[in-house]
Amino acid sequence: MESVEKLTHVLRNNGMKITPQRLMIFKILENNTSHPSAEEVFKRVKKIYPAVSFTTIYKTLETLRDLGEVKELIIDEDRKHYDPNTNSHHHFICSTCKKILDIFEDFSSHIKLPDSLKSDYTVFGFQISFYGICKECG
């Protein structure tokens, strides 16, 4: 995710108002490596702006996703997580504590689309999620 200043410019250019609640969402996500869920962002914003709705948080996160400013991660069926780092990277998810860690290894030389699918699909990227137990839980 880029700086708050750049994001405000991006949102204005896309016809969105810059509200204090949205600015707070940006600040929570900026340089955040914990991959917070929408619920976690909501709880933090609500401490400062008690009248904010979950819908506002969720729609803002969806908009940021659609604009390419955050990545949406679906780690489990119950909740989505948001990653402000839109650069190519992968994740390790601890099955015990549910912590999500970034992995910046390049796996492109190891991952290939099967020949049977190459004529039907054009791949422009991929993301690998590793599941296991982190050293704190192991």
How confident is residue 47, by pLDDT bands cut at 50, 70 and 90?
very high
Predicted pLDDT at 110: 84
Taking each helix axis from N to C end, the angle separating 20-29 and 38-48, rounded to the nearest 10 degrees, works out to 130
| pTM of the shown model | 0.77
The average confidence (pLDDT) of the chain is 89
Residue type, 7: L
What pLDDT, in 10s, does the model give residues 50-74?
A: 999 999 999 999 988 998 889 999 8
Residues flagged as binding site: 94, 97, 134, 137
Predicted pLDDT at 1: 52
How confident is residue 10, by pLDDT bands cut at 50, 70 and 90?
confident
Predicted confidence (pLDDT) at residue 3 exceeds the cutoff of 80 = no
Predicted pLDDT at 11: 82
What pLDDT, in 10s, does the model give residues 69-95?
A: 899 998 777 788 999 998 889 999 999
90 neighbors 129 (Cβ within 8 angstroms): yes
Residues flagged as binding site for Zn(2+): 94, 97, 134, 137
75 neighbors 97 (Cβ within 8 angstroms): no
Cβ-based burial of 109 (10 A; exposed 0-12, middle 13-18, buried ≥19): exposed
